[in-house]
């Protein structure tokens, strides 16, 4: 997709000298890009964004330069920001969706392309992209419909035709495989292993209800077999039926109380139910059964932190840090970093900010520039009123994790506390772009807009935050009603 100069009516654009500067920087970026100098292009487009922060095309050009430099996360963040500024910027959707696909994030890719289709239902390329995403996710029927629509729009589109043939062949292979497994089960309808194999095949084909029906038959056939409940749990998990999944795992641990893996699964689903103490008990049982597993102790520590049992969480994370402090392989290094992060976060949450700073410093000595270490360091500085130091750490954290909306939201809040109102608005807008469902980001945005004297926009942000909170409350109420 070619670079382009600023062409759209952007919010905040008023024909001022800033607009002229932005256009000049954009021309400079275009010239650099045409010469293959993408670093120069990125620098120029970044200056264009600074001059005219409300111009979507400048954001798009910056994203494209970053994409050409291989800065995938930076490109994604900039495309998201461009789309928020101009929801009709079709090429930003296409590039963003393709980037997600290249990263294997096919659900995110599909969501982006579907949003684009809402704007342009006659775009055959978009239908092909949607079909590709569905195919990668294993939703073959949906992929076929998308490719067929592309052919309707462009009867001579050979890519749509080829992809349709490919997905038809994949679907046939899957159907034939399931037919073989169904025949094997028919030949011996008391063989639990054959049930399990067929359930797995149904799940891979996104036939979740068929999988659950078969799993329930297993339970009726062998109600004292833990394997039947394991299989049933898998089916419930695929349907996101939290209570039933937890109950199935509860049956497994009742039948095999020494099964640490089952206790771990039960802990995870108890957390999903919001039963913190039950989750902790399950994780503790799993950890006691396999004391050599630091992963289970980490899950326990996280559950303790999430339950606000901070003293216990801090003790658990300290033990994990000590255990992994002599890490000599990649897995242990990652475990050590996660343990440091958990410890620093628990200290901050328990308002032990000076101690959190010490841990963050130690964390950074071992893992320089780690975004989580920098974020916890920034959080501690922030809580202690050391805003300039907090800003420096937040900004460094963003370099390593530019797609994290929480970092952007907290940085916006700290910019505001430091009196940097324009920076605060910009960063709050970025947080909202990265996660349009993050209610607190809209609240932060509203605060920054009020400080900037943009009260009407602030009211819109607060309204959106209220809508998100209401939707969340309604979801909780629905879950409570279903449980009762």
Q: Tell whether 425 and 411 lie within a shared domain.
A: yes
Q: How confident is residue 2, by pLDDT bands cut at 50, 70 and 90?
A: low
**Residue 383 CB neighbours (<10 A):** 16
Residues 138-164: tens digit of each pLDDT: 999 999 999 999 999 999 999 999 999
Average pLDDT, stretch 77-100?
95
Q: Tell whether 283 and 315 lie within a shared domain.
A: no
Q: Tell whether 283 and 308 lie within a shared domain.
A: no
Residue 200: the pLDDT is 97
Q: How confident is residue 12, by pLDDT bands cut at 50, 70 and 90?
A: very low
Q: Does residue 28 fall inside a structural domain?
A: yes
Q: Does residue 179 fall inside a structural domain?
A: no
What are the C-alpha distances in Å from 20 to residues 48, 82, 307?
10, 19, 54
Q: Tell whether 306 and 222 lie within a shared domain.
A: no
Residue 8: the pLDDT is 38
Residue 13: the pLDDT is 43
Q: Tell whether 447 and 421 lie within a shared domain.
A: yes
Instruction: Give the end of a domain, one of 253, 270, 290.
Output: 290
Q: Does residue 340 fall inside a structural domain?
A: yes
Q: Does residue 137 fall inside a structural domain?
A: no
Residues 183-207: tens digit of each pLDDT: 999 999 999 999 999 999 999 999 9
Average pLDDT, stretch 315-320?
97
Q: What is the CATH number of the domain that holds 231?
A: 1.25.40.10
Q: Tell whether 346 and 435 lie within a shared domain.
A: no
Spell 286-323 as b/e; 16+ CB within 10 A means b: bbebbeeebebbbbbbbbbbebebbebbbebbbebbee
Instruction: Give the end of a domain, one of 358, 392, 426.
Output: 392
Tell me if residue 137 falls in helix, strand or coil: helix
Q: Tell whether 427 and 450 lie within a shared domain.
A: yes
Q: Tell whether 386 and 419 lie within a shared domain.
A: no
Q: Does residue 410 fall inside a structural domain?
A: yes
- Check whether 52 has a pLDDT greater than 50: yes
Q: Tell whether 204 and 278 lie within a shared domain.
A: yes
Residues 229-266: tens digit of each pLDDT: 999 999 999 999 999 999 999 999 999 999 999 999 99
Instruction: Give the end of a domain, one of 265, 290, 315.
Output: 290
Residue 477: the pLDDT is 61
Average pLDDT, stretch 299-307?
97
Sign of CA dihedral 162, 163, 168, 169: positive
Residue 10: the pLDDT is 37
Average pLDDT, the chain: 93
Supply 192's token pair. 């639990």
Q: Does residue 198 fall inside a structural domain?
A: yes
Q: Tell whether 308 and 358 lie within a shared domain.
A: yes
**Domain coverage including residue 195:** 190-290
Q: Tell whether 259 and 331 lie within a shared domain.
A: no
Q: Tell whether 286 and 195 lie within a shared domain.
A: yes
- Check whether 333 has a pLDDT greater than 70: yes
Phi, psi dihedrals of residue 396, rounded to the nearest 5°? -65, -40
Provide the number of structural domains found in the chain: 4
Q: What is the C-alpha to C-alpha distance for residues 225 and 259, in angstroms, rounded to an integer? A: 13
Q: Does residue 283 fall inside a structural domain?
A: yes
Residue 22: the pLDDT is 81
Residue 101: the pLDDT is 95
Q: Does residue 307 fall inside a structural domain?
A: yes
Residue that the structure tokens 């242990």 belong to: 332
């Amino acid at each position: 997709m070619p670079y382009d100069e600023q062409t759209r009516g952007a919010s905040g654009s008023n024909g001022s000298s800033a607009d002229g500067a932005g256009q000049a920087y954009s021309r400079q970026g275009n010239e650099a890009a045409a010469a293959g100098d993408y670093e120069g292009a990125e620098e120029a487009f970044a200056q264009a964004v600074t001059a005219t922060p409300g111009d979507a095309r400048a954001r798009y050009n910056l994203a494209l330069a970053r994409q050409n430099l291989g800065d995938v996360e930076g490109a994604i963040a900039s495309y998201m920001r461009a789309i928020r500024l101009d929801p009709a910027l079709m090429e930003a959707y296409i590039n963003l969706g393709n980037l997600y696909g290249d990263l294997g994030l096919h659900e995110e890719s599909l969501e982006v392309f579907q949003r684009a289709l809402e704007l342009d239902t006659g775009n055959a390329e978009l239908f092909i992209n949607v079909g590709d995403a569905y195919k990668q996710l294993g939703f073959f029927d949906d992929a076929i419909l998308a490719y067929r629509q592309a052919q309707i729009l462009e009867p001579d589109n050979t890519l749509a035709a080829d992809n349709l043939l490919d997905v038809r062949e994949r679907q046939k292979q899957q159907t034939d495989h399931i037919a073989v497994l169904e025949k094997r089960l028919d030949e011996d309808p008391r063989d639990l292993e054959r049930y399990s194999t067929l359930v797995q095949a149904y799940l891979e084909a996104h036939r979740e209800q068929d999988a659950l029906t078969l799993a329930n038959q297993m339970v009726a056939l062998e109600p004292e077999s833990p394997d039947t409940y394991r299989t049933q749990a898998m089916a419930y998990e695929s349907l996101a039926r939290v209570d039933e999944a937890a109950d199935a795992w509860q049956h497994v641990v009742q039948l095999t109380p020494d099964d640490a893996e089952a206790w771990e699964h039960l802990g995870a689903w108890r957390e999903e139910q919001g039963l913190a103490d039950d989750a902790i008990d399950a994780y503790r049982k799993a950890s006691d059964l396999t004391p050599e597993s630091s992963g289970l102790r980490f899950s326990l520590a996280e559950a303790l932190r999430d339950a606000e049992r901070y003293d216990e969480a801090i003790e658990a994370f300290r033990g994990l840090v000590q255990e992994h402090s002599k890490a000599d392989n990649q897995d242990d290094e990652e475990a050590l970093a996660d343990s440091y992060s958990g410890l620093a976060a628990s200290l901050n949450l328990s308002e032990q900010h000076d101690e959190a700073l010490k841990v963050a410093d130690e964390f950074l000595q071992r893992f320089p520039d780690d975004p989580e270490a920098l974020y916890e360091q920034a959080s501690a500085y922030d809580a202690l009123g050391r805003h300039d130091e907090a800003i420096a750490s937040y900004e460094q954290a963003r370099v390593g994790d530019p797609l994290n909306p929480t970092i952007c939201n907290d940085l916006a809040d700290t910019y505001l506390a430091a009196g940097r109102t324009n920076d605060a608005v910009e960063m709050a807008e970025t947080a909202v772009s990265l996660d349009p469902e993050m209610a607190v980001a809209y609240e932060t945005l509203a605060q920054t807009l009020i400080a900037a004297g943009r009260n009407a926009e602030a009211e819109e942000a607060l309204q959106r935050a209220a809508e998100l909170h209401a939707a969340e409350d309604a979801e909780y109420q629905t879950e409570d009603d279903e449980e009762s």
